[in-house]
């Protein structure tokens, strides 16, 4: 998956630009459907998973729980992006700058 930009709405709100606050919930529902369909053993999130470096900290506990449930039982890699260069706060998974799986390089 790529460019989820979770917590984009809360990022904009912190700067005074109010947009509908449904982005994280809607994105997680779509991600949940894809994971349910494909049942991947490994998920690689290819950067910009969060809209900014503080997005994971601002994420509502219900969204955090929903994401953690999707992560359970599978390897999850966060590839650092320009919007979120550091590991997401208090979330499982491994944060990497690049990742090789077999002959694939992310």
Q: What is the pLDDT of residue 74?
A: 97
Report residue 42: phi and psi, to 5°. -130, 135
pLDDT of 24-78, one tens digit each?
Answer: 999 999 999 999 999 999 999 998 999 998 999 999 999 999 999 999 999 999 9
Q: What is the pLDDT of residue 85?
A: 84
Let me know how many helices (H) and strands (E) the chain has, helices first: 4, 5
Q: Is the pLDDT of residue 21 over 80?
A: no
| Residue-range domain boundaries for the chain | 8-105
Residue 104 makes CB contacts below 8 A (sequence gap 6+) with none
Classify residue 53 by its DSSP letter. Answer: T
Q: Is the pLDDT of residue 91 over 90?
A: yes
Q: What is the pLDDT of residue 12?
A: 86
Concatenated DSSP letters for 60-100?
Answer: -HHHHHHHHHHHTTSEEEEE--SS--SPPTT--SEEES--E
Do residues 42 and 79 lie in contact, with contact meaning Cβ atoms separated by under 8 Å?
no
């Amino acid at each position: 998956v790529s460019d989820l930009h979770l917590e984009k709405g809360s990022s904009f709100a912190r700067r005074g630009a109010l947009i509908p606050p449904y982005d994280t919930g809607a994105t997680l529902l779509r991600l949940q459907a894809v994971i349910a369909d494909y049942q991947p053993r490994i998920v690689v999130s290819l950067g910009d998973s969060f809209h900014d470096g503080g997005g994971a900290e601002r994420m509502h506990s219900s969204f955090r729980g929903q994401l953690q449930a999707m992560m359970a039982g599978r390897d999850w890699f966060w590839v650092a992006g320009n919007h979120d260069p550091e590991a997401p706060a208090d979330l499982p998974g491994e944060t990497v700058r690049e990742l090789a799986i077999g002959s694939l390089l992310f």
